[in-house]
Structures are given as C-alpha cells and as structure tokens.
Chain A
Amino acid sequence: MNDICVFIKLSDVKLNLHRYRAYLYLAPAIVLAALFCWYPAVKGFIESFFTVSHSGTVQGFAGLSNYRTLFSDKAFLNSVSNTLRFIVLFVPANTFLTLLAASLTRRKSRFSFIPEYIFFVPVAVSLSAYSLLFRELFRGKASVINRILGTDFLWINDKSGAMATLVILGIFLDFGLDYILLMSAFRGIDKNIIEAARMDGAGGWRLFFQVELPQIRGTVLATVFLALKDAILISAPIIILTEGGPYRSTETIMFYYYTEAFRSGNRAVQNSMAALVLTIAAVAFAIYSLRRKSR
C-alpha cells in the first residue's frame, strides 16, 4: 500500500488539477447512496417519532405513540404472526430441499447435466411468472395440483392452504440460486480431503455428514440467511397470488406495509414499520457479518 501512496503523492504534485479527481469518481455513488438510501432511511426513522399528515407534512412530535398505535393494531400483529409462520415453514423446508438436490448431484457424471439444469432453471423464471403460474396450478377444487394428487383441497381459497401454496411458491423462487450455490460449494471441496476420508474408511452417510457437510457450512449458513431475509421481506408474490387473503391469512409484515403505505396512506403505521424493518435488518446483518468475521 505504502509505495502506491508515495506514487499518488508524487503525481498529485505534478498534476494539481487532478487532486480532487477521486471525489469526482466517487460522486455518482455517493449521490445515489445518499439520495436513495441514507436520506430515506434517516428521514423514515425520524418521522416515526412524529405525527405526519396524509400528504406527508410533519405536524408535531409524537414520541412513541406511532409505535403504540402499531403494536395495538390487530392487523399488524396478525401480519407479524403470519410472517413468523411463513418463516418457520419456509426456511427449514427450503434449506432441506435445496441441500437434498445439491447433495444428490454433487458428483459429476455423464448425465448429471440434466438434473443440474432442471434444478438451476428456476433462476430463469421471474417472480411474477412463477406467481401467475402457481395461481393457475392451485386454483379452486378442480385444480391441476388436485388432479395429480387426487385430492380436493381448496389451496389458495383456504386459510392454511393459501399459506401452504405461498411456502411452496417461495421454495421455487429461491430454489435455483440456493441450489447452484450449494452444488458449487460441494464441488469446490478439496478432493484430497475426501480421498483422505475415504482411505480412513469413511463412506456414504459418514463421509457426507462428517466430512463434506462441515466443509460447506459457510455456504449453507449463507443460504439460510438468504432464505430468512426473503421470508422476512416477502410481499410481491402475495400481491399476485393471494392479495393477503383469504381472511388476512397470508398478510405478511411487508405486504401489510405495502397496503398501508400505498393504498390507505397510513403514515403512522408506515413510518414506524419502516423503522422496525430497518432495525431488524441491521441487527440481522450485523450478526451475520460478525459470524463471518469470527470464522
């Protein structure tokens, strides 16, 4: 690093005009970060302690009353419990299935490119395409899924069915990316480690659970956090698939935020929710980066 600094100093003497060029190069990034990240985050956080009119003008200090309103709002509490239910169902199922797919295809063979492509291809399908597709697949009693399973479950029009459909949709949305991360991690394990374990007589299950899985635990952890983040913030698939229904059974935190902020214009709920999400995200991210650093 040092010799570069010396060089830069020399060049600065030579070209005084260029002295501030670093700031010039950084200006677009700083302006964008300030305008669309720092400013809205700080403004939203501060406004969560004020009374803000429908049109957005600040009317007076409110203390914690916005938060009190929020936490006595039954619909909000319902959205929290729905989100928690979604997390509990989605994160383990997603982790298990993507890990299963990755472990079944972790060894390269002649025809392994076929399942690899199938497991990877969900990456190519957009969120709205999958959501529209699932809306059709799970629609009503005479749905395609019911025909295949031989059931007559109501899926999207049933309280628990709608949540189940949403969890399955969530798994498909994240499947491709998680799969490719995990599969690449398996293949990136040092061959010597596996060979050494084989020589020691480890095979099959033992090789997988005691050697390979521990080797990729960093990637597994990353996919779990990715799934957790997506689960906490899920809203767009709900807008397309269920509109939060039936009977608010699929209203998650971010879906509720979306309806309050953009449809009802409820400032008290909107700002305090944004501040809460921000805090949760910051804490979660801090924990994750600390864990990464400590390893």
Chain B
Amino acid sequence: MIRRPLDQMKFVLRKVVLLLLALIVAFPLFYMFSSSLFSAKDFNKVNLLPAKAVFSNYAKVFGHRYFGSYIINSVGTSVLASVIRTVVIVLASFALTHLSFKGRNLIFSALMLTLFVPQEAVLYQNYRTIASLGLLDTWAGIIATSLFSAAQMILVMGSFMAQDRSSYDAARIDGASDLRYIVSVLVPLSGPAVLTVSIQTLITTFNSYLWPLLVTNKPKTRTIQTGITMLGFAESGDMGAQMASLVLITVPFMIVLAFTKKRIENSLIRR
C-alpha cells in the first residue's frame, strides 16, 4: 500500500497517542506491582523500580491476623450472593415468560420500578432494616440487599423468551415438573445470559465497598474490600505490604479477564 506523506504522519500520530494513553492507563498498575517489592528506602527515594526486590512484603500480608478471614468472607459472600441471585432471577423470569396468571403485568411493572431506586438513596433505611433483623456482622447482612436485580432479570427474560415454547409444552405433557424443565432445558439453552448474571453478581459483590463497610463492625466479619483499607500497613509506614495486599486481590481478576476478554467482547458486539 502506498501512503502519502500526510497519511503516514497521521498514522504515526495515532500510534503515538495510543502508546501515550496505554502508558498512562497502565502506570498505576505497574507501580502497584513494582512497589509491592519495595523496601522502605525505595519509598523514601520515590523510586519507580525496587533497588532490590523485597518479597517479605507478601509474607507480611499473609501473616496479617485478619487477612485470611477477610478473604473467606469475601469469597463466601460473593459465591452465596451469586448463586441466590441467579436462582431468584431465573425463577421469576420463568414465571413471567412461561406462565400466565392474574397480575402478571402488575408484578412485572412493580419489579421494574426498582430500577428507579439507586441503592445509595435507600442506604440508611436498609441499614435500619438489617440492624433490626439482627443481621449486622453476618454474611446474610452483607448480601441481603443485593439478591435481586431488575436489570439482570430483563436480560434473563429476554433470553427465556427467545427459546422455543413447544419444548416446554412437550416437557409438561411428558409430566416433567417446572423445576426439571428449568434445570435441564431452559437454563442450559440460556447459558450465556444466566452465566453473565452469576459472574456479574460474583464480581460486584466481591468488589462492593460501601455496604459491607456499613454493616460490619467486627474485624473478623469484614470483607476484603473494606478490610484492605484497615490493614494498618500504610499507617505504620509499611507501604510495601499495603501494595502487596492490593496485588493479591487484583491478580486473580486480571487472570480471569485475560481468559474471558474475547467472550465478553463477543457477547457485546451486536450481530
């Protein structure tokens, strides 16, 4: 391909801007990895790379008395929230798409109304509810308010409606129960939508900060996202250990992302 000089200049300019932008976006993460190996000296000198890599920062994080329980609480609550929310949404979507009953439209609209209410606007009232149910400092309290999502229900309903109805009719005639049909036919056929809901819930619950901060007071019951700001490393001047803790909670998601990036992209590209 023959390029005119002007085109060539534009091409180079584009690549330079791209490189610059990529460097800026990547820098904080680069620094996170690099400084997780810093000694106190490296921090004082404001280095960008460690003079000598110090791995004891990671040992300090693993040796922290609450780090383990933070991780267990986070993994536990996010898996639990993901499973329960998926079940709640699948059951509701099934009823709304496959069954006809009195008040169907009313119930659907009422559920859709929740889209208008951001969690932040009902933060205090929900806190009161959780407190009066005696659920402060429990996993149930951490996940209770995020077990239903109307936005995700729309997604699953869309997928359920696209399925062939005659298979449900056939299953009913064969005497299969609704649950049997949902588990062995409907959900496998709507795999991508159901999977999206459960993965999204898993990640948002794992990464939520404000709500777990409000409903947990005892160190042992905190999740990692709130706990990581309270490890005390930064306060005692142990910045390297703080950075190592950030690396530890970020790397698993970076790996997952590397493997699922293509899939996420393809699901987003409309065809």
Contacts and interface: CB of A to CB of B under 8 A. Distances in A.
Contacts of B31: 133, 137, 144
B115 interface: yes
Contacts of A44: 121-122, 124-125
Interface stretch (B51-59, B60-68, B190-198, B260-268): B260-268
Interface in A178-194: 180-181, 183-185, 187-188
A129 to B, nearest CB: 5
Interface in B132-166: 144-145, 147-148, 150, 153, 165
A278 B116 CA distance: 8
A58 interface: no
A11 interface: yes
Nearest to B87: A28
A129 B100 contact: no
B126 A36 contact: yes
Contacts of B128: 56
Which residue, B101, B115, B249, has most C-beta atoms of chain A within 10 A?
B101
B257 A123 contact: yes
Interface of A: 3-5, 7-9, 11, 18, 20-23, 25-26, 28-30, 32-33, 35-41, 43-44, 56, 97, 100-101, 104-105, 114-137, 142-144, 147-148, 172, 175, 180-181, 183-185, 187-188, 204, 229, 233, 235-236, 239-240, 254, 257-258, 261-262, 270-271, 274, 277-278, 281-282, 285-286
B181 interface: no
A125 B257 CA distance: 11
Interface in B2-53: 7, 10, 14, 17-18, 21-22, 25-26, 28-29, 31-32, 35, 46, 48
Contacts of A137: 28, 31
A258 B211 CA distance: 11
Given A37-B114, A41-B122, A142-B46, A129 B261 contact: no
B167 interface: no
B79 interface: no
- B contacts with A: majority SS: helix
Interface of B: 7, 10, 14, 17-18, 21-22, 25-26, 28-29, 31-32, 35, 46, 48, 87-89, 91-92, 94-96, 98-101, 104, 107, 110-111, 113-118, 120-129, 144-145, 147-148, 150, 153, 165, 169, 172, 178, 206-207, 209-210, 213-214, 225-226, 228-229, 234, 239, 242-243, 246, 249-250, 253-254, 256-258, 261, 264-265, 268-271
B174 to A, nearest CB: 12
A22 B93 CA distance: 10
Contacts, number: 246
B46 to A, nearest CB: 5
A116 B207 contact: no
Given A36-B144, A188-B271, A120 B26 contact: no
Contacts of A175: 25
Lowest 9 CB-CB distances: which A-B pairs, in order?
A: A40-B125, A184-B268, A124-B253, A40-B122, A29-B92, A25-B95, A32-B148, A188-B269, A22-B101
Contacts of B48: 144, 147-148
Nearest to B242: A132
Nearest to A182: B268
Contacts of B213: 239
Given A104-B18, A239-B210, A132 B114 contact: no
